[in-house]
């Protein structure tokens, strides 16, 4: 669908109503059919471009687009060219198995990305030529007059002309947890989306009230449309494992080519024929290529994905499994991730300065109340006259409901009103019975900033914004008696709460003997009142959040908060979490805007220095992530709203919340089922375990492959025949190691993984430790096997066929023993309980058993060029393989001592 050009760049929220009508050439009666048709041709339909569904064929092709697969295909073709079809069959079998496993995992996790389009597909009530019509939302055009009422979704970006008690849920765009009060009129030009209270944005929901306005943007020009473009056009950063594997495979490919050329030249200089040289080179390539690596990696990542699922993290793409473990920065959304996304009354302050703290969190009545200076003694509202009044006011001047049904709390209505009902339960007042006192109500509206209830017991109850409520009061209650109102004192108390991140409501009451049972009371009917106290509300932190942030710090991961909420609220929560301290400067969207382009040093310095970002737009969140990635960080981004989607897609790893929008879940690489930040940390741990296991598998396969290359090179230099045939090498790499490396992938995580610093973004898979242990183990295996081959050829009268049979068995034994070395890169083999991976023990026995059994079966004897051996030969060869364990134990001992001197804290955390 092609989106036509629309009016853009206008600050609609700062325009006078008359300017809106003039600019869009429309009247209050709406557009004519002819004008609608003309504008639709000019502006296009009010919908977003549909995302292309990923087919099963595309998923399969995605598995094949792997450099290692290319090398395997080349080796298979070479095998066919020299007449070794059996070798080619083995290789193609590996490719098929790897592709099947990877495709199945991705296909079962992948969903069609269609939710962004659904956001703008519903009915819209419009006024055209003075008549009210209900039309499909995609037929809207700029200039349409749209009628809004509670319960509907906003079909386009609308400039409000009239509103009455209009409140909207814009959390999918702004990330704010409370409803937004809307009003008509003009606003200052330089305001963020969350502050444009005279605009209704596409995709948001009308909670209360009614109003009407003029469509100013449709389709891609809406705020949600701009987010859609960011999601569509931005490219996801490659997962760390993909980046490292691409480098690694490139290096393997180059190494194979270089070795092949060197060996080819050596053989040519020795007088070998070109066909013999070709045979040698193909055999060498087969030994160097880790044919079992794709399958082993896929299995390792699949196992990790299942383990993550048990810890409430669903992986959508296998390559993302390890990404969380690699992240150096977690850029977390606040609402719903670090907090419970449910406003909760937490503090009550009375005019005499008494402070009461309220336990519990969320929309429920579970919790107790304590006086701040008496944290051990529970308080009931009946103990204090002012508390009684506040609770009764909270219940009577209330438009929400909160009840417990079948052991579950059920709520409806404004979040602040629901929170007040929860508070009343905690104080010991049942709102269901108390709310029956309400006889008439002046509902809350953003223009008047209060609500008032006229009660059957001849009281009037009022709650609202502090300054507004104080304007109605001339006295305040202390110890049950009215005294002269100290306005400055109350404002100071309210300001203190606000600076601590609380939203504050004030409460007032008075006997109203002149009350008459009439309707339509007006604000002017309210007499002078007595002030009773303040209540502070906050979207509370999840219980596990602080501990999880602390765990991230120990793991060397920087946690930053990015939210659309108010800076003071963001800072308060960040300080509670340990993300910030009192001296931390909160960076807001305006400051980022003033820093100009994200490419400037000023912008980069601002991002690098901050841990809390507030009042930022979706595009700014994307820019922050871009800057962090550009500075070399591996970034994990969490989020749940449409506003988070661009950053989720751009990040190295996008982590969507399970209760969030489908849009966020579809662009994220992972989904946290329980919305809990602690589950993200659990995912980090599993990701580190996964990477450790990937390294173990790579270490096993590369070291044994390198040993085979050393064996070949030494044999050529010594003028000996090939110690192993190509099909025997494939047997070792695909079957013997193929069983063991899969079993190795089931290895449980080593203790201390979350006390290590993240790997450097520049670190390759073959870091210094991997290089050293691979060299030591491969040289040990290669030299021992070559020595045996040399002795068999020069000091015995054994036939070449039988000698090669023994060499193959020795290599099988070497791999059987060496896999136990690979269980840990630092911890002694003898210190790791076999019970931690019983499957590996069975895998080794099965690998050895299959090989011994194959030596007895004629069919396998023919394929592998092997034959049976005596028990004594089997035993002597087993003893020949033991040194690989002893050598690597000495290597670990030496390496750990060296590491202890360099970093004693990290080493101790592993043990």
The DSSP-derived string for 212-260 is EEEEEE-GGGSHHHHHHHHHHHSPPPPPHHHHHHHHHHHHHHHHHHHHH
Q: Where residue 3 falls among pLDDT bands split at 50, 70, 90? A: very low
Over residues 23-37, the pLDDT tens digits come to 899 998 899 999 999
Q: Where residue 119 falls among pLDDT bands split at 50, 70, 90? A: very low
Q: Which tokens sit at 664?
A: 């966020």
Give the lowest-confidence range in 3-12, 159-168, 407-416: 3-12
632: left (phi over 0), alpha (psi -120 to 50) or beta: left
Over residues 20-70, the pLDDT tens digits come to 999 899 998 899 999 999 998 888 888 766 555 667 777 777 667 765 566
518: left (phi over 0), alpha (psi -120 to 50) or beta: beta
Tell me which of 92 and 590 has the higher pLDDT.
590
pLDDT at 583 over 90: no
Average pLDDT score over residue span 567-596? 87
pLDDT at 240 over 80: no
Sheet with 653-657, strands from edge to edge, namely 313-315, 670-672, 653-657, 635-639, 329-332, 558-562, 612-614, 587-588
SS3 125: strand
Over residues 360-394, the pLDDT tens digits come to 888 899 999 999 888 778 888 788 889 999 999 99
- Of 271, 341, 782, which is closest to residue 540 (Cα–Cα)? 341
Angle ∠(745,748,753) on CA atoms, nearest 5: 110
Average pLDDT score over residue span 268-275? 73
Reported as type and span, the H/E element at residue 423 is helix 415-427
Mean pLDDT, rounded, of the chain? 82
The predicted pLDDT at position 122 comes to 66
pLDDT at 508 over 90: yes
Q: In b/e form, how buried is each residue of 558-581, taking b as 16+ CB within 10 angstroms?
A: bbbbbbbbbbebbbbbbbbbbbbe
pLDDT at 114 over 50: no
**Main-chain phi, psi angles of 560, to 5 degrees:** -120, 150
The predicted pLDDT at position 745 comes to 85
CB 222 within 8 A of CB 202: yes
pLDDT at 235 over 60: no
pLDDT at 421 over 90: yes
pLDDT at 905 over 70: no
Percentage of the chain exceeding pLDDT 70? 83
Q: Where residue 337 falls among pLDDT bands split at 50, 70, 90? A: confident
Neighbours of 108 (CB within 10 A): 8
Q: Which tokens sit at 215?
A: 């469509």
pLDDT at 419 over 90: yes
CB 117 within 8 A of CB 181: no
Over residues 179-224, the pLDDT tens digits come to 788 888 888 888 877 788 899 998 787 877 788 999 999 888 888 7
Tell me which of 313 and 230 has the higher pLDDT.
313
| Distance of alpha carbon 352 from alpha carbon 385, whole angstroms | 12
Over residues 429-479, the pLDDT tens digits come to 888 765 666 777 888 776 678 988 888 777 899 999 999 999 999 999 999
| Distance of alpha carbon 97 from alpha carbon 107, whole angstroms | 15
pLDDT at 77 over 80: no
The predicted pLDDT at position 907 comes to 41
The predicted pLDDT at position 75 comes to 67
CB 45 within 8 A of CB 1: yes
The predicted pLDDT at position 118 comes to 46
Question: Could you report how far apart the first and last alpha carbons of the chain are, in Å?
Answer: 59
Give the alpha-carbon dihedral of 351, 356, 360, 363, to 10 degrees: -20
Can you say how many angstroms the Cα of residue 622 is from the centroid of all Cα atoms in its chain? 14
Tell me which of 620 and 286 has the higher pLDDT.
620
| Distance of alpha carbon 813 from alpha carbon 818, whole angstroms | 8
The predicted pLDDT at position 651 comes to 87
**pTM given for the model:** 0.67
Average pLDDT score over residue span 639-654? 80
Over residues 663-719, the pLDDT tens digits come to 677 778 888 888 788 888 888 888 888 888 888 988 998 899 889 889 988 988 888
pLDDT at 774 over 50: yes
The predicted pLDDT at position 909 comes to 44
The predicted pLDDT at position 255 comes to 76
- Of 745, 634, 706, which is closest to residue 301 (Cα–Cα)? 745
The predicted pLDDT at position 885 comes to 96
Tell me which of 875 and 453 has the higher pLDDT.
875
CB 429 within 8 A of CB 391: yes
Percentage of the chain exceeding pLDDT 90? 28
Over residues 551-562, the pLDDT tens digits come to 899 889 999 998
Average pLDDT score over residue span 886-895? 92
The predicted pLDDT at position 112 comes to 31
Handedness of CA 163, 169, 174, 176 (dihedral sign): positive
Give the lowest-confidence range in 90-94, 568-572, 605-609, 834-838: 90-94
Average pLDDT score over residue span 738-767? 81
Q: Which residues are catalytic?
A: 333
Tell me which of 903 and 608 has the higher pLDDT.
608
Tell me which of 378 and 889 has the higher pLDDT.
889
Give the lowest-confidence range in 125-129, 442-446, 845-849: 442-446
């Amino acid at each position: 669908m092609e989106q036509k050009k629309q009016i853009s760049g206008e600050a609609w929220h700062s325009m006078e109503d008359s300017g809106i009508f003039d600019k869009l050439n429309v009247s209050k009666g709406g557009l004519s059919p002819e004008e609608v048709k003309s504008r639709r041709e000019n502006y296009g339909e009010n919908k977003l471009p549909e995302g292309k569904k990923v087919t099963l064929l595309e998923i399969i092709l995605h598995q094949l687009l792997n450099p290692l697969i290319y090398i395997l295909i080349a080796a298979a073709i070479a095998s066919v060219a020299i007449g070794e079809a059996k070798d080619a069959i083995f290789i193609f079998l590996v490719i098929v198995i790897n592709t099947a496993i990877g495709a199945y995992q991705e296909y079962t996790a992948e969903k069609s990305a269609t939710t962004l389009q659904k956001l703008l597909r519903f009915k819209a009530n419009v006024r055209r030529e003075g008549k009210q019509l209900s039309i499909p939302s995609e037929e809207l055009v700029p200039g349409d007059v749209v009628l809004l009422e509670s319960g509907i979704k906003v079909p386009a970006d609308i400039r409000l002309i009239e509103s009455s008690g209009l409140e909207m849920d814009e959390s999918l765009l702004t990330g704010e947890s409370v409803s937004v009060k809307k009003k008509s009129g003009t606003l200052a030009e330089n305001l963020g989306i969350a502050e444009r209270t005279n605009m209704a944005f596409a995709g948001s929901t009308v909670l209360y009230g009614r109003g009407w306005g003029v469509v100013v943007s449709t389709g891609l020009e809406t705020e949600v449309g701009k987010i859609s473009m960011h999601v569509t056009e931005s490219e996801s950063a490659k997962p760390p494992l993909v980046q490292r594997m691409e480098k690694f495979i490139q290096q393997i490919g180059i190494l194979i080519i270089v070795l092949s050329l060197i060996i080819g030249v050596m053989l040519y200089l020795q007088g070998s024929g070109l066909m013999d040289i070709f045979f040698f080179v193909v055999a060498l390539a087969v030994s160097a290529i880790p044919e079992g690596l794709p399958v082993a990696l896929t299995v390792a990542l699949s196992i990790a994905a299942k383990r993550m699922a048990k810890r409430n993290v669903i992986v959508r793409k296998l390559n993302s499994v390890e990404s969380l473990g690699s992240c150096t920065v977690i850029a977390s959304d606040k609402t719903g991730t670090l907090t419970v996304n449910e406003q909760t009354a937490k503090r009550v302050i009375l005019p005499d300065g008494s402070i009461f703290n309220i336990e519990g969190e969320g929309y429920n009545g579970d919790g107790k109340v304590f006086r701040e200076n008496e944290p051990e003694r529970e308080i009931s509202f009946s103990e204090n006259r002012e508390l009684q009044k506040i609770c009764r006011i909270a219940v009577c001047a209330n438009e929400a409901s909160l009840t417990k049904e079948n052991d579950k709390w059920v709520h409806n209505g404004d979040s602040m009103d629901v929170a007040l009902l929860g508070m009343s339960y905690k104080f010991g007042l049942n709102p269901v019975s108390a709310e029956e006192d309400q006889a008439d109500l002046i509902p809350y509206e953003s223009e008047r900033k209060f609500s008032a209830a006229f009660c059957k017991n001849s009281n009037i109850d009022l709650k609202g914004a502090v300054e507004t409520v104080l304007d109605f009061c001339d006295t305040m209650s202390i110890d049950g008696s009215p005294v002269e109102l100290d306005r400055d004192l109350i404002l100071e108390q309210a300001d203190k709460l606000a600076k601590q991140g609380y939203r504050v409501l004030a409460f007032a009451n008075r006997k109203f003997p002149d009350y008459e049972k009439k309707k339509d009371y007006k604000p002017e009917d309210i007499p002078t009142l007595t002030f009773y106290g303040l209540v502070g509300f906050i979207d509370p932190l999840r219980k596990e959040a602080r501990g999880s942030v602390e765990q991230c710090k120990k793991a060397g991961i920087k946690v930053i908060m990015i939210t659309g909420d108010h800076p003071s609220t963001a800072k308060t929560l960040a300080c509670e979490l340990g993300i910030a301290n009192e001296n931390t400067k909160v960076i807001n969207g305006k400051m980022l805007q003033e820093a100009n382009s994200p490419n400037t040093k000023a912008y980069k310095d601002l991002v690098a220095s901050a841990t809390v970002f507030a009042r930022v737009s979706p595009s700014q969140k994307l820019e922050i992530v871009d800057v962090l990635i550009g500075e070399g960080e591996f970034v994990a981004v969490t989020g749940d709203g449409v506003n988070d989607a661009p950053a989720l897609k751009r990040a190295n790893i996008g982590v969507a919340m399970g209760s969030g929008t489908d849009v966020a879940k579809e662009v994220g690489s992972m989904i946290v089922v329980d919305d809990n930040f602690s589950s993200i940390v659990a995912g980090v741990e599993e990701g580190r375990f996964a990477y450790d296991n990937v390294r173990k598998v790579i270490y096993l396969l590369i070291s044994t492959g390198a040993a085979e290359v050393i064996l070949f090179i030494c044999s050529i230099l010594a003028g000996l025949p090939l110690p192993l045939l190509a099909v025997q090498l494939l047997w070792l790499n695909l079957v013997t190691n193929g069983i063991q490396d899969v079993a190795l992938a089931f290895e449980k995580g080593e203790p201390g993984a979350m006390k290590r610093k993240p790997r450097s973004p520049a670190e390759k898979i073959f870091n210094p430790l991997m290089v050293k242990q691979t060299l030591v183990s491969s040289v040990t295996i290669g030299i021992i096997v070559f020595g045996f081959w040399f002795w068999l050829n020069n000091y015995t009268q054994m036939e070449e066929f039988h000698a090669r049979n023994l060499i193959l068995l020795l290599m099988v034994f070497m791999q059987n023993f060496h896999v136990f070395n690979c269980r840990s890169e630092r911890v002694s083999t003898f210190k790791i309980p076999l019970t931690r991976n019983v499957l590996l023990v069975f895998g080794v026995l099965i690998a050895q058993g299959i090989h011994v059994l194959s030596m007895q079966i004629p069919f396998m004897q023919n394929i592998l060029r092997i034959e049976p051996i005596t028990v004594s030969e089997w035993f002597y060869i087993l003893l020949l393989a033991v040194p690989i364990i002893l050598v690597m134990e000495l290597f670990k001992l030496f390496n750990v001592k060296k590491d202890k001197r360099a970093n004693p804290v990290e080493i101790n955390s592993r043990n």
